[in-house]
Amino acid sequence: MLASQEDLVTALVNKDPTFQVSDHFTVKELVYSETAVNKGIDNYPNDINAPIPLSEIASNLLILIQDILEPIRVKLAIPFSPNSCFRCYDLNQALGSKDTSQHLLGQAADLDIPGISTVDFGYWCQKEGSLSNGFGQLILEAITPGVASSGWIHLSIKNIKYNNQVLTITNRGVTKLGYNP
């Protein structure tokens, strides 16, 4: 089950956290951010706090669920909630993220899966995952070398700029092409 774009837009406008977008994910999981809660930031997308219209954000979120989140959930059979999907401008700035972040467009999710190390999950996504449509970027972020459970995995949908790009970003800010934990 995947919601229609129109129904998702309505749920976002109405700020309905319980709206079931797919078999395993709700609106709350697409907009929730611990930082947003702690800083009092309303992270529901609208036509003012995002760089593209709400209808496009909804469309991107549906692709993210269909191509990334649901295949991972079904294949691993482990319940999880994304750490971050959509981010409004204020949240993105509060996190110190770039203005080009795919999170602003509803095209990316930051994930860690209970019971699986971040490094192992990243390898699984790259090699064995059921991401049949591929991905835009797979980034192992904020990794501490030698600590397999540190950091998280950033996964985004394909677009013109990103097509199966794999990167590692350590806690030292070093970016490496490829998957090098």
Q: According to the model, what pLDDT value does residue 125 have?
A: 86
pLDDT score recorded for residue 178: 56
Which CATH number does the domain housing residue 122 bear?
Answer: 3.30.1380.10
Q: What local confidence, expressed as pLDDT, does residue 76 receive?
A: 92
| Predicted pLDDT of residue 181 | 46
Q: Which residues pair with 153 in a beta bridge?
A: 111, 140
Nearest to 157 by CA among 86, 96, 95, 79: 86
Domain containing 121 equals: 5-177
| Domains identified in the chain, total number | 1
Q: What is the DSSP string of 50-102?
A: SSS-HHHHHHHHHHHIIIIIHHHHHHHT-----SBS---HHHHHHTT--TT-G
Q: Can you tell me whether residue 144 is helix, strand or coil?
A: strand
Residues of the chain with pLDDT under 70: 128-130, 132, 160, 170-181
Predicted TM-score of the model (pTM): 0.90
